[in-house]
Amino acid sequence: MKPPLESTPHPAGAPGASPADLPKSRLEDLPWKKRSREKADFYVDCVHCGLCLAQCPTYRELGFESDSPRGRLFLMRAAQEGTIPWNSRIADHIDLCLGCRACESACPAGVRYERLLEEAREAIEEHRKRPWTERLLRSLVFGQIFRRPRVLHLAARALRLYQVCGLRFLLRRSGLLKLLSPKWSELEQLLPDIPPARRLLKKGIRYPARGERKYRVAFFTGCVMDETMADIQHATVEILQHNGCEVLVPEGQGCCGAVQSHSGAFAEALRQMKTNVGVLAPLEVDAIISNAAGCGAVLKEYGRWAADYCPALRSEAEKVSAQTADISQFLVRIGFAPPEAGLEKRLTYDEPCHLLHGQKVSAEPRRVLRSIPGIEWVELPNADQCCGGAGTYNIMQYELSMRILEKKMKDIASTGAEVLATGNPVCLLQLRYGARRFGVPVEVRHPAELLAAQYRLGRKP
């Protein structure tokens, strides 16, 4: 795919300027408080009705109350109130939770499960005694790789080198990796093919609207998506340009904090929020666009995070949350142009949990996809159920993740779809892996890629 047509560097001092231009205190030194755990606030909302159980993938697989939302809430509340300690037995049940938030959508009492899970994971990390190797790895991952975009970039380059220098081919062909660790040999296949550095979307750039400028938006690029799925990033900018948007891709933005908050490293997640709010809040834009369901869901939580932990940042964080929109949501909101070129394929859609349950965005991606002329649309059975990817879940809980994935792939196979669309990087990787592992002949694509390709075909003379 070609990069967007014209691009101009950001003028100095224009919206989207690097955070280095902002007072340092705006970004790093704002005080943050720890929320009191004395009150069992949200736990008391649970009326134990059990309506969430059937929606919970781990309860469906394991059948234990303690691996259901209601059971986990009971354990979390007991630990929070001091009836039982935050020990490894509780941790095991909390660790098995995918954080998919299907229970929230099912709950008639409005229990904010995600919020309680964040707190529980943080409390567990405070009490958990990890071996020094794990502590070192966590500090490397959360304190370096996901905090510093430069380090993430170098890690991605090292991975690319491994993939293109022949070492990957050798390890796979010889079966050596499988011999050393069958599990790591499988996990290695979950990795995306890293694009060359020249293909990555450039930041600190203003991509002009195609034709008359109707909107000005900022693109939140995320971290993993940005380093590993360059084509999707370019496609996102391209479809925004096609629909009259000037797109700012600000320098200085970083990981949204999702991985950290889901792993009990909440202080690191707040640090990421401060960095991103420092970059995004000053922008004069109509919307902040996310093309990754997980990132969008977290950006929409920034206002709440700031209110709870960093009140000094609250108004700016709330502005960022209010302006954030998933790409499909924004396209529908502005009345996007349907593509002219047709695609003669059978197409289905799997809902990323953090788009459906986290952002409550469900109809919009379908409207975008169904606007493509010529497609044969087929609804995916159980599209609202998690694929088992769930951040790092497929690495940390590989066996259970694969059980969940196998069911998802059976559903996909039953549709006979040639193309499956989904709008989240981990879901894309998980489902592509699932297609290979379970032999389902389906191409897994991001909706932005599909739409951009049809726009491009439609522009050809």
The region of 46-54, 188-196, 294-302, 338-346 touching ligand SF4 under the rule CB under 6 A is 46-54
User: What is the spatial distance between Cα 144 and Cα 160, in angstroms, rounded to a whole number?
Assistant: 19
Nearest to 298 by CA among 354, 250, 248: 354
> Binding to ligand SF4 by residue 111, rule CB under 6 A?
yes
Considering beta carbons, is residue 115 or 346 the nearer one to ligand SF4?
115
Angle of the 69-80 helix axis to the 113-127 helix axis, nearest 10: 50
Helix (H) or strand (E) holding 450: helix 447-459
> Binding to ligand SF4 by residue 107, rule CB under 6 A?
yes
The region of 4-12, 99-107, 371-379, 399-407 touching ligand SF4 under the rule CB under 6 A is 99-107
Task: Give the shortest CB-409-to-ligand SF4 separation in angstroms.
Answer: 19
> Binding to ligand SF4 by residue 388, rule CB under 6 A?
no
The region of 94-102, 162-170, 315-323, 327-335 touching ligand SF4 under the rule CB under 6 A is 94-102
The region of 93-101, 231-239, 362-370, 431-439 touching ligand SF4 under the rule CB under 6 A is 93-101
> Binding to ligand SF4 by residue 99, rule CB under 6 A?
yes
> Binding to ligand SF4 by residue 77, rule CB under 6 A?
no
Task: Give the shortest CB-59-to-ligand SF4 separation in angstroms.
Answer: 6
> Binding to ligand SF4 by residue 113, rule CB under 6 A?
yes
Q: Which two tokens stand for residue 268?
A: 């690191």
Q: How buried is residue 256: exposed, middle or buried, by Cβ count under 10 Å (0-12/13-18/19+)?
A: buried
Backbone angles phi, psi at 445, to 5 degrees: -135, 155
> Binding to ligand SF4 by residue 358, rule CB under 6 A?
no
> Binding to ligand SF4 by residue 262, rule CB under 6 A?
no
Considering beta carbons, is residue 121 or 147 the nearer one to ligand SF4?
121
> Binding to ligand SF4 by residue 292, rule CB under 6 A?
no
> Binding to ligand SF4 by residue 72, rule CB under 6 A?
yes
SS3 of 88-126 = HHHHHHHHCCCCCCHHHHHCCCCCCHHHHHHHHHHHHHH
The region of 44-52, 74-82, 162-170, 205-213 touching ligand SF4 under the rule CB under 6 A is 44-52
Interacting residues of 451 by C-beta distance below 8 A, sequence separation 6+: 235, 239, 339, 368, 369, 371, 372
> Binding to ligand SF4 by residue 293, rule CB under 6 A?
no
Residue owning tokens 């924004």:
330
For ligand SF4, the binding residue among 52, 237, 255, 277 (CB under 6 A) is 52
Q: Which two tokens stand for residue 388?
A: 């088992």
Nearest to 372 by CA among 448, 440, 423: 448
For ligand SF4, the binding residue among 100, 201, 298, 332 (CB under 6 A) is 100
User: What is the spatial distance between Cα 93 and Cα 95, in angstroms, rounded to a whole number?
Assistant: 5
User: What is the spatial distance between Cα 68 and Cα 60, in angstroms, rounded to a whole number?
Assistant: 8
> Binding to ligand SF4 by residue 289, rule CB under 6 A?
no
Q: Which two tokens stand for residue 419?
A: 């193309």
Total interface residues for ligand SF4 by CB under 6 A: 27
For ligand SF4, the binding residue among 27, 56, 116, 258 (CB under 6 A) is 56
Side chain identity, residue 241: Q
Task: Give the shortest CB-74-to-ligand SF4 separation in angstroms.
Answer: 9
Q: List Cα–Cα distances, 348 to 99, 354, 355, 366, 381, in angstroms.
A: 24, 18, 16, 9, 10
Residues from 439 through 458 that contact ligand SF4 (CB under 6 A): none
Considering beta carbons, is residue 44 or 180 the nearer one to ligand SF4?
44
DSSP 38: S
Considering beta carbons, is residue 95 or 125 the nearer one to ligand SF4?
95
Nearest to 60 by CA among 359, 354, 386, 356: 386
Task: Give the shortest CB-256-to-ligand SF4 separation in angstroms.
Answer: 18
> Binding to ligand SF4 by residue 46, rule CB under 6 A?
yes
Which residues are near ligand SF4 by CB under 6 A?
46-52, 55-58, 69-70, 72-73, 97-103, 106-107, 109, 111, 113
